[in-house]
């Protein structure tokens, strides 16, 4: 559908009309899912089945796990010079986990494999080889995962492999090689090496202290925290001051240029409002807008009143006051600009002095850097030498060989009886979950994309007007009978919905008779003429004198539905002088004819490609007021708002408005736009009639059950 045409200039409704909070009930979401079931469900099933098929085709993998127990930490008696071997921290435990996963242990495992064990590891690869291909030379060691079991002293070593026997073999072999590597590291210390390391550590400590002292003395003499920190501080200051100085210079140049422009404009007596800085200063924009509005009002009033009229005098005084205020604001803007220029010049001089000071400090630090770096390097080298000796001394200080290690095997790994992947229960859960998400996402997502009117929620919550009633699909009824259903007085399933709309109109109407009701829609073909005829028949059936007026002057249809000529009517009356004298009900130019008990028809009287002259005329409004003296109710059938704007002109004369929407036809945003335009004209909008729903859709698109109940009730009597 094409975008909605632009409406004529109307006053905007409050901003709160644009803020719609979507609050759907569970029933609304049920309707959304049911309406889009055959779109979302196949797509969801396709995705779910595809995921399940893809995951079920994964290569079967087996997992085997072996566990090791860490010895409980023990206290060491220092007098016996015994080195503690238990794990005392998370860091040590994590170190063990990383060692097991390291390439070194992996290499040891690979080297420890016998030819028979290698054949076990190669069995899956041999099965996948094509006939006649050479056997693989490499060995698949699977995927290793090492984890500490929480809140215990246990380590789990798991291996994932395509062969269950190979997975168990590798898990046990990783445990064996890790424990063997720990045994290889255990040994005693060399007493002579310890003595030498202790002496060398004492010498290097003295050298490190001396180097540190020389560096500290130099830093105190030069008033330095450290050369790098001092240099960074000065550089940061220099960068900051330079950036501020450049900003100040640019700002000064900008203000000088603006001030120079102001002086030139003042000298040439040009309009200072052409200067952006002046025009946007303080209250100048508001005063300028106020002055322009007053001048427009003065121009409009000048078309109606003379120069000495009180309204003209008041506007002239207001313009004079606004001009004085604008001149004062302009003077204040110029003074403020001059003050800013003086401030920025002073600030620029201060920044230039600070920049020069920081440059001198940077040069001084650069001169000191050579000697400082030399002293610092000497201190660093001395500290590193001392640290290395201490590390070496710590590693060799073992006075007693410990025959036990802090880790021992607990449970050996065994072959798994079934693969852990593909896991069909997990695949089923994943497929169902993803399918459900796709189903819900597609169904609800389409509801946001499809903006057409469908349900009571669209009308009452989104558009924000009353739902007067729902008219079912009457395609089974003949065209010549549809428009006379209520007038013919038949008791069938097509009459009761119109009587329900009649009841809703009476409930929501705030005006007494006589009055006029305009019936319009968004686009052609939504059934506004059908609603107009049968609503008029409903009021006539209840004793009201009703005039059905065809104001669709571009495409009149009412005379055809009642088998009348269209020679007399609104256009004919207007072209022949628009006589409002006498009895209008019997005016031959209008040609009002009776089409039933208590109901008459006023035709269009021809066609017009440009009926706005008639509809905008005060004579049209006077005609409606005169006709109210002869009729209790005037039902006006008008063109759709989405095609032409004639209905907005008619709405200015009508008392109340009923909007007709056809199911799944017009867009909600367009309807809301036109409702907003009608409300801006201070029209009393009674509500919306939803037309064209099948009985099945009526049952689940709304809470209106009368159609099915009425059909069952009267069907039982026939």
Quote the DSSP letter at residue 569: B
| Nearest alpha-carbon partner for 643 in 524, 513, 502, 473 | 524
Question: Is the pLDDT confidence value at 406 over 80?
Answer: no
Residue 446 and residue 34 in contact, taking contact as beta carbons nearer than 8 Å = no
Q: pLDDT, tens digit, for every residue of 493-516? A: 678 888 889 999 999 999 999 999
pLDDT score for 517: 94
pLDDT score for 603: 93
Q: Which residue has the higher pLDDT, 569 or 281?
A: 569
Residue linked to tokens 């803007």: 333
pLDDT score for 600: 93
| Nearest alpha-carbon partner for 254 in 348, 349, 329, 327 | 348
What average pLDDT does this structure show over 407-416? Answer: 84
Question: Is the pLDDT confidence value at 547 over 80?
Answer: yes
pLDDT score for 544: 93
Rounded Cα gap, residues 238 and 231, in angstroms: 10
Where do the domains of the chain lie?
21-56+421-449, 62-126+139-188+402-411, 227-396, 461-717
Report the DSSP pairing between strands 143-148 and 154-161.
antiparallel
Peptide bond into 138 cis (omega under 30): no
pLDDT score for 402: 40
456, two tokens:
């009571």
Which CATH number describes the domain made up of 227-396? 1.10.287
The 3 state secondary structure assigned to 595-649 is EECCEEEECECCCCCCCHHHHHCHHHHHHHHHHCCCCCEEEEECCCCCCCCHHHH
Burial level of 693, CB count in 10 A (0-12/13-18/19+)? buried
- The helix (H) or strand (E) run that includes residue 517 is strand 515-521
What average pLDDT does this structure show over 679-707? Answer: 69
Rounded Cα gap, residues 514 and 627, in angstroms: 9
Residue 648 and residue 656 in contact, taking contact as beta carbons nearer than 8 Å = no
pLDDT score for 447: 65
Of the listed ranges 161-170, 185-194, 589-598, the least confidently predicted one is 185-194
19, two tokens:
């803020």
pLDDT score for 507: 92
Of the listed ranges 212-216, 546-550, 576-580, the least confidently predicted one is 212-216
DSSP string, 57-72: TSPPBEEEEEEEEEPP
pLDDT score for 551: 92
Rounded Cα gap, residues 701 and 482, in angstroms: 24
| Nearest alpha-carbon partner for 661 in 446, 448, 449, 452 | 452
CB atoms within 10 A of CB 203: 12
What average pLDDT does this structure show over 653-679? Answer: 86
Fold of 62-126+139-188+402-411: Alpha-Beta Plaits (3.30.70)
Residue 409 and residue 179 in contact, taking contact as beta carbons nearer than 8 Å = yes
What's the pLDDT band for 611 if we cut at 50, 70, 90?
A: confident
Residue 676 and residue 17 in contact, taking contact as beta carbons nearer than 8 Å = yes
Say which CATH superfamily domain 461-717 falls into.
P-loop containing nucleotide triphosphate hydrolases (3.40.50.300)
Global pTM exceeds 0.95:
no
Question: Is the pLDDT confidence value at 712 over 50?
Answer: no
Residue linked to tokens 């920081």: 358
pLDDT score for 4: 39
Residue linked to tokens 């049911």: 34
Residue 658 and residue 518 in contact, taking contact as beta carbons nearer than 8 Å = yes
What's the pLDDT band for 395 if we cut at 50, 70, 90?
A: low
Average pLDDT of every residue of the chain: 78
Q: Do 62-126+139-188+402-411 and 461-717 agree at the fold level?
A: no
Residue 291 and residue 322 in contact, taking contact as beta carbons nearer than 8 Å = yes
What's the pLDDT band for 12 if we cut at 50, 70, 90?
A: very low
Q: pLDDT, tens digit, for every residue of 327-353? A: 888 788 788 877 887 888 888 788 878
The 3 state secondary structure assigned to 428-490 is HHHHHHHHHHHHHHHHHHHHHHCCECCCHHHHHHHHCCCEEEEEECCCCCCHHHHCCCCCCCC
Rounded Cα gap, residues 702 and 685, in angstroms: 21
Residue 400 and residue 83 in contact, taking contact as beta carbons nearer than 8 Å = yes
Q: pLDDT, tens digit, for every residue of 431-470? A: 888 888 887 887 777 666 666 776 777 777 777 888 888 8
Question: Is the pLDDT confidence value at 658 over 80?
Answer: yes
Rounded Cα gap, residues 258 and 274, in angstroms: 12
pLDDT score for 93: 79
234, two tokens:
């000065």
Question: Is the pLDDT confidence value at 701 over 60?
Answer: no
Report the DSSP pairing between strands 546-550 and 599-602.
parallel
What's the pLDDT band for 659 if we cut at 50, 70, 90?
A: very high
Task: List b or e across 524-539, with b for residues whose CB sees 16 or more CB atoms inside 10 angstroms.
Answer: eebbbbbbbbbbbbbb
């Amino acid at each position: 559908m094409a975008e909605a045409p632009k409406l004529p200039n109307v006053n905007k409704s409050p901003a709160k009309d644009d803020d719609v909070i979507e609050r759907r009930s569970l029933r609304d979401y049920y309707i959304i899912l049911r309406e889009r079931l055959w779109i979302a469900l196949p797509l969801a099933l396709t995705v779910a089945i595809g995921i399940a098929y893809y995951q079920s085709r994964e290569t079967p993998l087996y997992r085997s796990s072996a566990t090791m127990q860490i010895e409980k930490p023990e206290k060491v008696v220092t007098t016996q010079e015994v080195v503690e071997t238990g794990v005392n921290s998370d860091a040590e435990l994590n170190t063990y986990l990383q060692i097991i996963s390291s390439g070194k242990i992996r290499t040891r495992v690979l080297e420890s494999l016998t030819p028979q064990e290698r054949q076990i590891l190669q069995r899956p690869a041999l099965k996948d080889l094509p006939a006649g291909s050479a056997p693989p030379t490499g060995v698949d060691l699977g995927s290793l995962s090492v984890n500490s079991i929480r809140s215990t002293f246990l380590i789990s070593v798991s291996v994932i492999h395509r062969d269950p026997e190979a997975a168990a073999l590798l898990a046990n072999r990783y445990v064996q090689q890790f424990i063997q590597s720990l045994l290889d590291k255990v040994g005693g210390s060399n007493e002579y090496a310890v003595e030498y390391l202790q002496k060398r550590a004492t010498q290097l400590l003295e050298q490190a202290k001396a180097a540190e002292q020389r560096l500290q003395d130099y830093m105190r003499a030069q008033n330095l925290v450290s050369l790098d920190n001092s240099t960074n501080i000065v550089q940061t200051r220099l960068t900051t001051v330079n950036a501020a100085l450049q900003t100040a210079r640019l700002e000064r140049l900008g203000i000088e240029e603006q001030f120079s422009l102001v002086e030139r404009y003042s000298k040439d007596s040009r309009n200072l409002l052409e200067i952006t800085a002046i025009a946007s200063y303080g209250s100048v924009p508001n005063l300028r807008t106020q002055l322009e509005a007053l001048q427009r009002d003065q121009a409009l009033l000048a078309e109606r009143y003379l120069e000495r009229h009180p309204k003209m005098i008041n506007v002239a005084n207001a313009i004079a006051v606004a001009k004085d205020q604008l001149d004062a604001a302009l003077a204040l803007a110029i003074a403020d600009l001059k003050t800013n220029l003086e401030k920025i010049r002073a600030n620029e001089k201060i920044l230039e002095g600070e920049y020069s000071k920081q440059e001198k400090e940077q040069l001084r630090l650069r001169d000191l850097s050579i000697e400082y770096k030399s002293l610092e390097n000497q201190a660093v080298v001395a500290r590193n030498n001392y640290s290395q000796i201490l590390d070496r001394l710590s590693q060799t200080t073992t006075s007693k060989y410990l025959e036990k290690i802090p880790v021992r095997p607990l449970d050996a790994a065994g072959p798994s009886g079934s693969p852990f992947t593909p896991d069909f229960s997990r695949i089923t859960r994943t497929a169902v979950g993803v399918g459900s998400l796709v189903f819900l996402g597609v169904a609800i997502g389409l509801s946001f994309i499809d903006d057409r009117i469908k349900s009571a929620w669209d009308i009452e919550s989104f558009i924000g007007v009353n739902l007067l009633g729902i008219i079912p699909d009457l395609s089974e009824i003949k065209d010549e009978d549809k428009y006379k259903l209520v007038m013919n007085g038949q008791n069938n399933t097509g009459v009761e919905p119109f009587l329900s709309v009649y009841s809703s109109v009476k409930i929501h109407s705030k005006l007494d008779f006589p009055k006029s009701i305009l019936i319009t829609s968004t686009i052609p073909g939504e059934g506004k003429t059908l609603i107009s005829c049968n609503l008029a028949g409903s009021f006539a059936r209840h004793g009201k004198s009703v005039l059905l007026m065809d104001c669709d002057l571009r495409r009149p249809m009412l005379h055809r539905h009642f088998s009348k000529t269209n020679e007399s009517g609104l256009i004919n009356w207007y072209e022949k002088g628009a006589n409002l004298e006498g009895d209008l009900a019997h005016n031959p130019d209008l040609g009002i004819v009776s089409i039933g008990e208590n109901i008459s028809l006023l035709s269009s009287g021809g066609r017009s490609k440009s009926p706005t002259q008639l509809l905008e005329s005060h004579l049209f409004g006077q005609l409606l007021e005169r006709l109210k003296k002869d009729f209790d109710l005037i039902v006006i059938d008008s063109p759709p708002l989405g095609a032409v704007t004639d209905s907005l002109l008619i709405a200015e004369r009508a008392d109340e408005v009923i909007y007709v929407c056809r199911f799944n036809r017009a867009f909600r945003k367009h309807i809301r736009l036109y409702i907003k335009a009608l409300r801006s004209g201070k029209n009393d909008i009674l509500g919306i009639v939803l037309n064209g729903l099948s009985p099945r859709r009526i049952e689940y698109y709304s809470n209106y059950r009368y159609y099915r109940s009425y059909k069952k009730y009267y069907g039982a009597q026939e």
